[in-house]
Amino acid sequence: MADFHTKTIYGQNSSIIVTSPTKMVPYIFLSCINRKEDGSWEKTTKGEGKTVKISIEEMICILEVLNKKSANWRGYHIFEDRKTEIYVGWEDESRQVLQIKIGDYKKKLRFPSINLMTLLLDHILTEKIEYATSGAFETKAKEKLVDEESEYSLFSEQITARDGLQVVETTEFGVLVDTVKVKAKIKVESPKALLITLDTGEEFWAPKSTIHSEYDVTNKTDFQKFVVDKWIIEKNKILKERDSI
């Protein structure tokens, strides 16, 4: 069974990307990118497009829509001063066209892309419930997992749509964590961390739980943009003044 999943569902002018960096973490990344005027696509590794982290609970909400048990789901991610709206819902009551919105980015899916996304999310969810929520851990590891679970406060509301399907709305508040942007290459991946090399030459292990941006573990040649916890930089004594990336 694969540990890493990524799939881009292309459209004419917009595309949606589903990424699971590892089966051991209880979240995925959902990205939306647009085609540029020159015909090329925006690259998430360059900070383009819009990417959000989707929790297991939110994956379940999205699957309820994909399986036509809910009319739509709308989520609000609030982190520090940034608020991002995420919407997944059917265009009309025929439920033939699915709309996905991430901030100002929009993407519509039709058959067979809807079926592909349903099967992919269902597989990833099953995988994460098995590997990201269970297992034999040392006491310290258990305490760390409890701390990670408390990083988010999730509020959920449900109402009934005109056609009898439920509409789910969630709001997810992230804790205030100081982060810093860096450029780095991925050198080695382990189940829980990445060995990265900064553009200044420093090299260190970054726990995946401290990385708050999407990354491509298959790309080990190019510099990628990372948003990481500030403390991991300070711990490795490599904190420097950096221009905004």
DSSP symbol at 22: -
The confidence score (pLDDT) of residue 153 equals: 45
Q: Tell me what pLDDT residue 239 has.
A: 47
166 or 149, greater pLDDT: 166
Which helix (H) or strand (E) segment holds residue 187: the answer is strand 179-189
pLDDT at 145: 36
Quick one: pLDDT at residue 66? 97
pTM above 0.95, yes or no: no
Q: 38: which 2 tokens?
A: 């020159």
Q: Which whole-number Å values give the CA distances from 143 to 26, 138, 146, 163, in the listed order? A: 16, 9, 5, 45
Q: What is the pLDDT of residue 228?
A: 87
Q: What is the pLDDT of residues 95-137, one digit of tens each?
A: 999 999 999 999 999 999 999 999 999 999 999 999 988 754 4
Mean of the per-residue pLDDT values of the chain: 81
> How does pLDDT run across 23-75, given as a tens digit for each residue?
988 999 999 999 999 999 999 888 899 999 899 999 999 999 999 999 999 88
Tell which residue, 172, 180, 170, has the closest CA to residue 236: 180
* The pLDDT of residue 89 is above 90: yes
Average pLDDT score over residue span 3-26: 93
**Which pLDDT tens digit goes with each residue over 207-228?**
887 888 889 999 999 999 998 8
- What is the homologous superfamily of the domain 5-174 according to CATH? Transcriptional Coactivator Pc4; Chain A (2.30.31.10)
% the chain with pLDDT above 70: 75
Domain boundaries, the chain: 5-174, 179-235
Which residues are CB-neighbours of 126 under 8 A, at least 6 positions away? none
Tell me the pLDDT band of 233, cut-offs 50, 70 and 90: confident
Residue 87 above 80 pLDDT? yes
Residue at token pair 């916890």 = 229
pLDDT band at 154 (very low <50, low <70, confident <90, very high): very low
pLDDT at 146: 35
Taking residues 169-193, report their average pLDDT.
Answer: 76
Query: What's the distance, Cα to Cα, between the start and end of the chain in Å?
Result: 36
